[in-house]
Amino acid sequence: SNMATPSDELQAARSQIRQSKRALRDTREKLKNILDDETDDTKKIINDLQVKEVNLTKCIEELESRIAELELSIDNERSQIARQEGRSRVALPTSPTAEKQNKHAISLFMSASEHEQDDKRDDDIDNHETPSKILSSASSDQLTAADLGALSVPSLQTPSCIGAHLCLLEQLFQEAGAGTISSGVFIPHGHLRITVYNKLLESVQSCELVSSVIHDIAQNSEYKWSVIKAELQQEFARRDLLKAEYNA
């Protein structure tokens, strides 16, 4: 019926992807076990199986995107409701995932000999957490928004690569002088915060799934990089699980 809800459609897509994966496994099994005796008949069979393999692979990829989209829209609906309920309680939406992730990143960053490094690390964190202090004393060759705007950024290929993509952008931004990475956490310079976000936007333009939700996420997190990063990773982590399941 044309009254199918997203969750109905999700269920249908999931059973379809299961069937397609089974068919793909069978097809690959047949291809592996066929003896190529160079006859035209066998060549035709092999060719047909190869075509089928390609088509099934495409079909599975499309279903994966569709499933991720549906999950996203169901999630968005839920989080919108939660947000509306939350707004009345909380003035500023801070993301617990971002805090958790930062803590995790920091704990990963600290080495076994962390006690000897305590003093040094405190200084580091102190410097990086207050970019304004560095900026006021910075020389005139400070990076401008226009300079950063001209920086070319890689395009995100699939939503499931968002984690690696964000890490690459952070390295790029740090190299360009747009911010600093402290204890594994990237902090853009205050005057470049929005330009950094614009570059992120430009880099995910090729991925409709990501670019369609990024505005909401950014506005709700007041364009704070660490929060945007955590929210995006959480939003698309499920897609990674799907992929892992498919490749298993």
pLDDT less than 70: residues of the chain: 1-3, 86-141, 237-248
pLDDT at residue 180 in the model: 92
User: What DSSP character marks residue 178?
Assistant: S
Record the pTM. Answer: 0.43
Q: Could you read off the pLDDT of 32-78 as tens digits, one per residue?
A: 999 989 899 999 999 999 999 998 998 888 888 888 888 888 888 88
Nearest alpha-carbon partner for 203 in 193, 192, 214: 214
pLDDT at residue 239 in the model: 59
What does the alpha-carbon distance between residue 248 and residue 242 come to, in Å, rounded to a whole number?
10
Q: Could you read off the pLDDT of 67-95 as tens digits, one per residue?
A: 888 888 888 888 787 777 766 555 444 44
What b/e sequence results for 187-202 when a residue is b if at least 16 CB atoms lie within 10 Å of its CB, and e otherwise? bbbeebbebbbbbbee
pLDDT at residue 242 in the model: 62
pLDDT at residue 184 in the model: 81
